[in-house]
Structure 1
Amino acid sequence: MKERYTVDDLQYLMSQLRNPDGGCPWDLKQSFASIVPSTIEEAYEVAEAIERADFGHLSEELGDLLFQVIFYAQLGREEGHFDFSQIVDALVRKLVRRHPHVFPSGDLYAENVNTGIDEAQIKQNWETIKASERAAKGEVGTLGGVAVGLPALTRAMKLQKRAAQVGFDWPDIEGVLDKIAEEVQELREAVASGNMEHAREELGDLFFACVNGARHLQVDPEVALRQCNRKFERRFGAVESRLEATGKKLADASLDELDRLWDAAKADEKIRD
């Protein structure tokens, strides 16, 4: 057994898992489409490890995510679309192209000099280059090329950033907060009317406005909501534990009692903080 395996070993392992003669039956059944859910799940597990600063676990999660790329590369090679080396080649070329301030000659290994460009200009150049790449792919318009399959909050953020680049934006957070209040009122009116289709539309408008708030506050809405989810789990778990200590189950408690326990859980967290 080798002292340390490499990416080449990982590619060989993948080829053996997909070997029709003695490979893994599960891996042999997979396709590009079937492993997409696993890819998304692995990406979120990487994000969670980072948010928890669990760097020991992060190494493992990054390996799981890398395996997804290796899996796609194997499928691409089998079907004649591409292989791992082509993935790497395209990535390196794109990154060199998008960093002319680091690689002004366009050559990864050429001797380069610091161009003295500031961060704002770097960002502007990056967006200009990406816009040119999108145009080459036929993705026209300011909002062209924003992937439809992204999580809705993430896609809303990307759409808003694109629009903001051409000046379609509130000048400050106050305008966004006013818009959120406006959308809340419109949602109330839609609910009161009994038109649930309209209520769903207004709820979407409220989410979209809240994402705009996150953007102005320079907060990732997905991260903020994940943090909120963890907080809810933690506090709800505390409520459940307090009930169990008295011999009760959740179903046995009144809403008033649950509210009191919830407030106690919040108070405990403030004391610890």
Structure 2
Amino acid sequence: MTTEPIATGGTRLDLAFDITDLTVRFGKGAAAVTPLQKLSLEVPDGQFLCILGPSGQGKSTLLRCMAGLQEATSGSMRAAGREVTGPTANLGMVFQQDAIPQWLRVRDNISFGPRMRKVPAHEWKPRVEHFISAVGLSGRENAWPKELSGGMRKRVAIGAVFANDPDILLMDEPFGSLDYFTRATLHATLLKLWAETRKTIVFVTHDVDEALLLADRIVVVTDGKIGADIELPFARPRDDGLRMDPEADTIRRGLLEVLRAPARMQS
């Protein structure tokens, strides 16, 4: 029999996230809105988790809580065994909209995190150069963001978050505004970096096929709760052939059924 490592207080040490009865409520009385209600979720270290959900049903609120950007009304949220009370360098975030500083060139953007944390230059410089190359920006190190396409700016954001070396990466529909071919290229880049680093990744998306391609596990958040939780059986690497796989189609249909279920009024 195997046992999981336990910290003082009963926290599992092999969990990137341990979330129990998480509730978020905005407003009071009849006007109150509850995007999350008593949601519980465990995310193992190193897992690539995709969170799916209809608009307004709690998936982005959950991610903001995980990032320490949104305070919970009740319940507990632990990252790597520690209570989440605000943003930390251990939690890297990639947003849907461009969030890289426009006044910094590519290399300065990607090195921004470790420089702000006062990591010695001899440590961060090789790492930054590695991730500039890994995200396909070699030769564009001195470019300004305004000189880059949307896909290239997203590469900068991904390179920056990996270069800062957090244990956990949180990604809020990062490729939602990109065209199909750019998204496909960035999917491959992200999966390559994940395979190299084995960071925990929590990736919010509204695209079922994107989740099937990327994830080890898919969780559907609907009505502020977990509506489905599926471990994917598919080997890696995966490609567009997954669209024709009968088992993938069965899972896709099941996920779409959960996503299309009528939502109650949150109050």
TM-score normalised to the size of structure 2? 0.28
Considering only CA atoms, is the larger Rg found in Structure 1 or Structure 2?
1
Higher helix share: 1
State the TM-score, normalized to the length of structure 1. Answer: 0.28
